[in-house]
Amino acid sequence: MDQLTIGILGFVVFLALSLLRVPIAYAMSIVGLSGMLIVYPIDTAFKFIPTGMFTYTSNFTLAALPLFILMGTLAFYADLGKDAYDAAKAWFGRVPGGLGVATVYSSAIFGACSGSSLSSVAVFSKIAVPEMVRANYSKKLALGVVASAACLDVLIPPSILMVFFGIITETSVGQLLIAGVVPGIVTAIFMATGVMLYCKIYPETAPTDINLDTSWKAKLSTLKSLWAAAALFVSVLGAIYTGFATPDEAAAVGVVGALLLVYIRGNLTWERVKYSFIDSAKVSAMIFLLLGSGYIFSTFLSTTGVVSSMTDWIKSLNLSFYVLMAGIVVLYLFLGCFLDAVSMMVLTMPILAPLMLDYNMSLVWFGVVVVVMMSIGTITPPLGLNCFVMKGALGDGYELSDIFAGCLPFVVLMLATVGLFIAFPQISLWLPELMKSMR
């Protein structure tokens, strides 16, 4: 049996294990290790795999992952989400669907301090959903806007998925983080405009709260409370943009800054600090396990020629760039129904990243497109992690089916932004290119 056949059979076994609900990391490790033992002598395989895994997962850039996760957890205890929501509510509360619009923009602001959409869902499920329900908003609209706006957190830096993409594809993490700024703002504007138009057409879904204080005094007063989020965002992103610090160093600055904000707000307790570190360690361990197992599996596919054969086959189809990108969008929509974002990235990047380079496209731009598509997977059934976290946060008074239904219009809006980013790559590349020219 030749190596290519072994690789294809290994991939089929991996798919079978995944369908049997074997955790993705274990499935990749089992298939990758077994395949390498077939391809190489046992002593060679056992020397190569541990050494390669250690080298891959001990990359110093990976330090940014647990640090950004910890920073986001601490930002939750600093009440930055509540500050952002109060400010956005004062500025946008009287427009059609004002509380929904406020939720979108406050999620974007919170995203500048937290790189995880799950953190945002947990925060705004408790803050925004009860207030919109009290204001007689449509329950589906209230649920959908909170779950969907949380997707902004993985696009606006600091983004854990951007860091992960950079490590897997060996792309500049700093440029990837900066590249998410403009697309994140554009996506937030798309979402907020969509909410306003919908509520303008169907005003009964979002009655205007005439008692809401949107005076200039209230607006300027709430802006003062945003100093903490602004300081944290500028300290992290400013350090990366100016070249003063690498992403991992900037992440460390962010952790210290977030811890100081928790202390200043009077929320610093030993229990919260302990929980923040333990929770961050658990999430980081899961990501590193996926990284290590992904390394074994991708090495197996590369060694057996599956990656090169798949890439050559796709190139032989002579697809136009836009047809190829349409196929990739459909692929991620399908995978997002069954896999989490990190697993999708580990599984697809060995094939798609080289393919983008063959089409002379920037991996920084492609990273933005991929991250948006993966964030869509967090609000689509049956997996939809954002929706499940929201259900857990809100309890029995809300149905999971209502959350998914409320997210559907936002899936369409986000697909529209993906089309925009594909048609106009400079939306993603303008700021990173400006950053390079300033150095």
Q: Which tens digits make up the pLDDT trace of 289-317?
A: 888 888 888 888 888 888 888 888 888 88
Alpha-carbon dihedral angle through residues 268, 272, 276, 282, given to the nearest 10 degrees:
170
pLDDT at 439: 60
For residue 220 the two structure tokens come to 């300027």
pTM of the full structure: 0.85
Instruction: Tell me which H or E stretch contains 276.
Output: helix 270-303
Q: Which of 437, 417, 347, 411 is nearest to 180 (CA)?
A: 417
Query: Are 178 and 237 within 8 A, CB to CB?
Result: yes
Burial class (CB in 10 A: 0-12, 13-18, 19+), 27: buried
Q: Which tens digits make up the pLDDT trace of 373-390?
A: 999 988 988 878 888 888
Query: Are 5 and 12 within 8 A, CB to CB?
Result: no
Detail the DSSP E strand segments found in 278-326: none
> Could you give the 3-state DSSP secondary structure of residue 380?
coil
pLDDT of 368 above 90: yes
For residue 6 the two structure tokens come to 């072994």
Query: Are 205 and 198 within 8 A, CB to CB?
Result: yes
Structural domain boundaries in the chain = 61-438
pLDDT at 185: 94
Vertex 98: Cα angle to 94 and 99 (nearest 5): 125
What distances in angstroms separate CA 247 from CA 107, 153, 338, 410, one per listed residue?
A: 22, 17, 31, 31
Q: Which tens digits make up the pLDDT trace of 24-38?
A: 888 888 998 898 888
Could you tell me which residues come within 8 angstroms of residue 344 by beta carbon, excluding any fewer than 6 positions away?
332, 335, 336, 374, 377
Query: Are 271 and 3 within 8 A, CB to CB?
Result: no
**CA 42, 45, 49, 55 torsion: positive or negative?**
positive
Alpha-carbon dihedral angle through residues 281, 283, 286, 288, given to the nearest 10 degrees:
-60
pLDDT of 395 above 70: yes
Return the half-sphere exposure (C-beta side, CA atoms, 13 A cut-off) of residue 353: 19
Higher-pLDDT residue of 232 and 144 is 144
Query: Are 393 and 125 within 8 A, CB to CB?
Result: yes
Q: Which tens digits make up the pLDDT trace of 181-237?
A: 999 999 999 999 999 999 999 988 888 776 777 787 888 887 777 888 888 888 888
Percentage of residues of the chain with pLDDT beyond 90:
28
pLDDT at 371: 95
Could you tell me which residues come within 8 angstroms of residue 384 by beta carbon, excluding any fewer than 6 positions away?
377, 378, 403, 404, 407
Burial class (CB in 10 A: 0-12, 13-18, 19+), 87: buried
Angstrom distance (rounded) from CA 429 to CA 415: 19
Going by pLDDT thresholds of 50, 70 and 90, the confidence category of residue 326 is very high
Higher-pLDDT residue of 283 and 411 is 411
pLDDT at 425: 94
Q: Which of 24, 90, 100, 123 is nearest to 339 (CA)?
A: 24
